[in-house]
């Protein structure tokens, strides 16, 4: 036991000797003589919740983050004790609790130490606010690395850093700036090839220190609430991330169009300007699915109104855009203008829906419309009301998606940029101050918006995007990384942020392509769009103050590059959609940082630039001007250069050519990449044939293809088609087997199979166990391609 007198002198209190013990099914209670209780719950064999009470009483057990559908259940739970310790065993873990101190240590079943308390739980009473500042300190191992924590714009490996979570409107944030918009108190530790995660589910301002204050110690604390964290064991990082995502929830499948390219600016208006931009996409044959209306579409920035001078007939405009394949998405902010003649304000006042100061008046603050009041989205009644407000926009006008901004919540012209701490919130029936509700305000707004859009968009799927978020927000909404800057450094940040969000449970994220503040050069825009098409959410947005930022706003060369890469995204839509399905089904992140992909390779632990898109494509953006290529780390395994189709061996750093119209892209051997034809928007074409780009690989490999109606909910009733391709490659033959699930009928009948890297000349082709002639399968020896029925079960190619 560590007795820390210095900390004690600073007013910290620590648990002492355990004097009482109780077990209730899956939950164990250890009570110390000084009335601290550790409540330990076994949620799953690898997911353990630790919760501490002081003074012998727990708070109401309530969380906005935990998904009610989270898996529960374990195979084994056994308790033992000896003189010094209690020992809890599950089928994956051994948790040891010291009787003298309540300090815990967690081991795997082979006895390897995974994580252990340093001082462990301690706290300080907060006289000023009431409640406790709750703290936890853990030992950091010698070579331990740390990842996660949402949108932090800093190196992906957090060792040596201290960060805090306090949602902040941080216009033109800088590298290493902290905190910014989101608050995701979840990190992954990796040591000795074993990964675990810690989710500190506390909405107060939280801090995480990864060996910055003290070498050898990692700690986290909050300015109120309970010490309440979930320990999630791997040992694979993928197990940690998918378990965390299971705990905090997954989204539903978005409509496929939401994975298309989207165009935004502050602001496109009037109507003629919106139409002009839309028409230009079609004229230049640059695919685009979404067009955004920023705050100027409203009447004096009043939410749920239209500026009739700029947009005389929104319904007609939205329909005309829709006829041309554009989905209209509109911004809705939380600030409701104080205006006695404005119906939303009137309803809010009449029903007492706005947040109040401690002494009674409504919380008042300046945002775009001037003085505003702010709905208390932590009140279920307010959320219902808010959801109902979308009826006209969605049902009548035909808007397809809603963009929630300024929901940190942001307040202008005040030093703290947000509500004062005394503001009251309902917090779903457990009233509290803004200190506790601040970090989840944005998520509850997005949740209410999602419920509204979903209700009125039904039977189509909703689309919502938010700027602020807390853990669990992914159940309701996509997100973007806020007001970045048009600089090369920000391109580096953008790449890290989206990867980090992906391993923090929130895969459906993108950045303002080209940068929001300031103006990119054509070259920077080209490099950004190259990266952006590999982000789950893909949208150009800019403040519009310095010039245009559409794909054609630079020179023709840049337009061609933008078209080339957006085309590639549209060709890969079935691959991307399959990735998304797996995220929805299993919590698998869409992008995988290299350390996630191969944690056993220590080379990956500090890599930031390269990532895996889905399971099979290695992407590495060019992050510098005037580049003709770059050095990059290619992870272990064999990879095909996507452009040249040449195979290289990974496991080392190497130079890769990539002139301005290319970006390093590699496909893993043994991959089937499904491709749709290029469409100007999702659903433009009836897909008549799907191309399978098949990259030969020795040994066994697998790939998947998920398809459905691309919108609506039929897929929940088995109307989907989920194909698994299993491949076995040998020197002189190659077998591809297909298994299919679901009963959705795709519009096409055939696959065009394009064989890449085949190490032999084909002598014989067997299809479903029968030899077929080359003509039967339209074999094209130059392209090395053949056409077969989509429902084949086995294709066997034999070489001479
Ligand atoms: C905020 C948003 C930005 C938006 C602007 C005007 O700065 O982050 O995306 O364009 O407000 O609504």
pTM given for the model: 0.98
The Å distance, Cα 266 to ligand 1 centre, comes to: 7
Structure tokens at 761: 């000349």
Q: Which two tokens stand for residue 684?
A: 């433009």
Catalytic residue of the set 151, 209, 408, 598:
408
State which H helix or E strand residue 495 sits in: helix 488-503
Q: Does the C-beta of 331 come closer than 6 Å to ligand 1? A: yes
Check pocket membership of 748 for ligand 1, CB cut-off 6 A: no
The ligand 1 atom nearest the CA atom of 267: 10
Choosing from 331, 334, 442 the residue with most ligand 1 atoms within 8 A of its CB, the one to mutate for a pocket test is 331
Per-residue 3-state assignment (H helix, E strand, C coil) for 403-458:
EECCCCCCCECCCCCCCCCCCEECCCCCCEEHHHHHHHHHHHHHHHHHHHHHHHHC
- Distance (angstroms) between ligand 1 centre and the Cα of 366 equals 15
Which H, E and C letters describe 705-731, residue by residue?
EEECCCCCCHHHHCCCEEEEEEEEECC
On whether the CB atoms of residues 710 and 570 are closer than 8 A, the answer is: no
Mean pLDDT score across all residues of the chain: 97
Query: In 10 A of CB 347, how many CB atoms?
Result: 14
Best substitution site from 151, 403, 406, 409 to test ligand 1's pocket, by max atoms within 8 Å of Cβ?
406
d(CA 544, CA 473): 29
Give all strands (DSSP E) within 126-205, no chain letters: 132-139, 145-148, 162-165, 182-183, 186-191, 194-200
479-497 in b/e burial notation, b at 16+ Cβ within 10 A? bbbbbbbbbbebbbbbbbb
CB atoms within 10 A of CB 34: 15
**One of 483, 610, 691, 693 is an active-site residue; which one?**
483
pLDDT at position 10 is: 78
Q: Is the link from the previous residue into 270 a cis peptide, with omega within 30 of 0?
A: yes
| DSSP string for residues in 303-324 | TT---TTT-S-HHHHHHHHHHT
Closest C-alpha residue for ligand 1 atom 5: 266
Kindly state if the Cβ of 483 falls inside 6 Å of ligand 1.
yes
In the set 405, 610, 691, 707, the catalytic residue is 405
Low-confidence ranges of the chain (pLDDT < 70): 1-5, 8-9
Rounded distance between C-alpha atoms, residue 194 and residue 144, angstroms? 10
Could you tell me if 362 and 295 are in contact, meaning their C-beta atoms sit under 8 angstroms apart?
A: no
Which residue(s) pair with 155 in the sheet? none
Backbone conformation region of residue 571, classed left if phi is above 0, alpha if psi is from -120 to 50, else beta: alpha
Instruction: Please give the number of the atom of ligand 1 that sits closest to the Cα of 331.
Output: 12
Instruction: Identify the residue whose tokens are 């600073």.
Output: 10
CATH of segment(s) 5-248: 2.60.40.1760
Enter the tokens of residue 78. Answer: 């056994």
In angstroms, the first-to-last Cα distance of the chain is 71
Give the position, in ligand 1's atom list, of the atom nearest the Cα of 482.
8
pLDDT in tens, 231-259: 999 999 999 999 999 999 999 999 999 99
**Catalytic annotation present for 117:** no
| Pocket flag, ligand 1, residue 74 (CB < 6 Å) | no
CATH 2.60.40.1760 spans which residues of the chain? 5-248
Determine if ligand 1 sits within 6 Å of the CB of residue 405: yes
Distance between CA atoms of 230 and 48, rounded to whole angstroms? Answer: 6
What pLDDT digit, counting tens, does each position of 135-167 carry?
999 999 999 999 999 999 999 999 999 999 999
Q: Give yes or no: 276 in active site.
A: no
**Ligand 1 touching residue 295 (CB < 6 A):** yes
- CA–CA separation, 543 vs 533, rounded Å? 21
CA of 245 to the centre of ligand 1 (A): 28
* Nearest Cα to Cα of residue 376 among 434, 451, 298: 434
The dotted CATH code for 591-667 is 2.60.40.1180
Residue 176 annotated in active site: no
Rounded distance between C-alpha atoms, residue 75 and residue 298, angstroms: 56
- The answer for residues whose C-beta is within 8 angstroms of residue 143's C-beta and 6 or more apart is 191, 192
Query: How many angstroms does the Cα of residue 272 sit away from the middle of ligand 1?
Result: 22
CA nearest ligand 1 atom 10, residue: 266
Fold exhibited by the domain 686-799: Immunoglobulin-like (2.60.40)
Q: Where in the chain is the domain with CATH 2.60.40.1180?
A: 591-667, 686-799
**Ligand 1 neighbour 539 (Cβ under 6 A):** no
Instruction: Give distance in angstroms: CA of 496 to centre of ligand 1.
Output: 21
Which ligand 1 atom minimizes the distance to the CA of 265? 10
> What is the distance in A from the centroid of ligand 1 to the CA of 405?
7
CA of 301 to the centre of ligand 1 (A): 12
Atom number in ligand 1 closest to CA 410? 1
Q: 733-741 and 794-799 as β-strands: parallel, antiparallel, unpaired?
A: antiparallel
């Amino acid at each position: 036991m560590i007795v820390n007198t210095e900390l004690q002198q600073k007013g910290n209190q620590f648990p002492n000797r355990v004097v009482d013990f109780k077990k209730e099914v899956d939950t164990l209670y250890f009570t110390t003589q000084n009335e601290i209780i550790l409540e330990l719950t076994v949620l799953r064999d690898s997911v353990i919740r630790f919760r501490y009470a002081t003074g012998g009483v727990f708070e109401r057990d309530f969380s906005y983050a935990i998904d009610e559908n989270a898996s529960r259940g374990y195979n084994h739970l056994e308790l033992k004790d000896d003189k010094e310790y209690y020992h809890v065993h599950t089928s994956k873990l051994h948790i040891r609790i010291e009787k003298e101190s309540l300090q815990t240590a967690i081991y795997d079943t082979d006895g390897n130490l995974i994580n252990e308390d340093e001082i462990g739980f301690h706290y300080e009473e907060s006289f000023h606010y009431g409640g406790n500042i709750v703290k936890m300190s853990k030992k950091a191992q010698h070579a331990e690395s740390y990842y996660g924590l949402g949108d932090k714009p800093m190196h992906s490996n957090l060792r040596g850093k201290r960060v805090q979570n306090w949602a902040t409107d941080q216009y033109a944030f800088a590298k290493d700036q902290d905190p910014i918009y989101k608050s995701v108190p979840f990190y992954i530790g990796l040591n000795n090839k074993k990964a675990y995660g810690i989710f500190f589910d506390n909405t107060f301002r939280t801090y995480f220190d990864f060996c910055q204050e003290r070498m050898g110690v990692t700690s986290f604390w909050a300015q109120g609430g309970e010490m309440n964290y979930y320990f999630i064991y791997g040992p694979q990082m993928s197990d940690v991330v998918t378990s965390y995502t299971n705990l905090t929830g997954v989204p539903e499948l978005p409509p496929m169009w939401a994975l298309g390219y989207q165009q935004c600016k502050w602001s496109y208006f009037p109507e003629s300007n919106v139409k002009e931009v839309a028409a230009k996409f079609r004229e230049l044959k640059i695919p685009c699915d979404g067009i955004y209306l920023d705050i100027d579409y409203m009447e004096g920035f009043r939410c749920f109104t239209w500026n009739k001078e700029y947009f005389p007939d929104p319904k007609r405009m939205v329909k005309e855009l829709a006829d041309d394949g554009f989905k209209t998405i509109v911004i809705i902010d939380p600030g409701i203008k104080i205006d006695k003649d404005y119906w939303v304000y009137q309803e809010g006042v009449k029903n007492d829906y706005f947040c109040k100061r401690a002494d009674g008046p409504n919380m008042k603050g300046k945002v775009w419309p001037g003085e505003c009041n702010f709905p208390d989205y932590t009140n279920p009644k307010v959320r219902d009301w808010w959801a109902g407000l979308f009826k006209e926009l969605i049902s009548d006008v035909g808007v397809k998606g809603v963009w929630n901004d300024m929901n940190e919540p942001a307040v202008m012209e005040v030093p703290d940029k947000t509500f004062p701490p005394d503001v009251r919130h309902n917090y779903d029936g457990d009233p509290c101050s803004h200190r506790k509700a601040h970090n989840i305000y944005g998520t509850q707004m997005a949740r209410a918006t999602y419920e509204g859009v979903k209700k009125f968009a039904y039977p189509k799927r909703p689309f919502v995007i938010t700027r602020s978020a807390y853990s669990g927000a992914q159940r309701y909404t996509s997100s973007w990384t806020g007001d970045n800057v048009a600089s090369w450094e920000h391109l580096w940040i953008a790449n890290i942020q989206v990867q980090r969000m992906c391993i923090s449970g929130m895969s459906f994220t993108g950045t303002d392509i080209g940068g929001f503040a300031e103006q990119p050069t054509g070259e920077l825009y080209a490099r950004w769009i190259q990266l952006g098409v590999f982000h789950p959410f893909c949208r150009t947005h800019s403040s519009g103050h310095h010039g245009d930022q559409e794909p054609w706003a630079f020179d023709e060369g840049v337009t061609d590059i933008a078209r080339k890469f957006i085309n590639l995204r549209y060709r890969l839509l079935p691959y991307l959609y399959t990735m998304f399905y797996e995220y929805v089904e299993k919590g698998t992140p869409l992008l995988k940082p290299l350390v996630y992909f191969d944690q056993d390779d220590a080379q990956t632990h500090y890599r930031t630039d390269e990532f895996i898109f889905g399971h099979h494509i290695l992407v590495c953006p060019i992050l510098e001007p005037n580049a003709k290529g770059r050095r990059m780390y290619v992870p272990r395994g064999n990879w095909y250069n996507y452009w040249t189709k040449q195979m290289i061996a990974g496991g080392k750093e190497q130079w890769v050519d990539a002139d301005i119209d290319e970006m390093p892209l590699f496909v893993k051997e043994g991959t089937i990449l499904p491709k749709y034809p290029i469409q100007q928007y999702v659903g433009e074409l009836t897909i008549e044939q799907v191309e399978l780009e098949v990259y030969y690989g020795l040994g066994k490999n697998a790939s998947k293809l998920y398809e459905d109606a691309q919108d609506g909910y039929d897929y929940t009733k088995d109307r989907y088609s989920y194909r698994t391709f299993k491949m076995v490659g040998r020197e002189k033959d190659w077998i591809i087997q297909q298994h299919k699930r679901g009963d959705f009928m795709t519009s096409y009948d055939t696959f065009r199979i394009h064989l890449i890297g085949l190490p032999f000349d084909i002598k014989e082709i067997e299809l479903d166990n029968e030899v077929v002639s080359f003509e039967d399968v339209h074999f094209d020896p130059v392209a090395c391609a053949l056409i077969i029925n989509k429902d084949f079960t086995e294709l066997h190619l034999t070489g001479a």
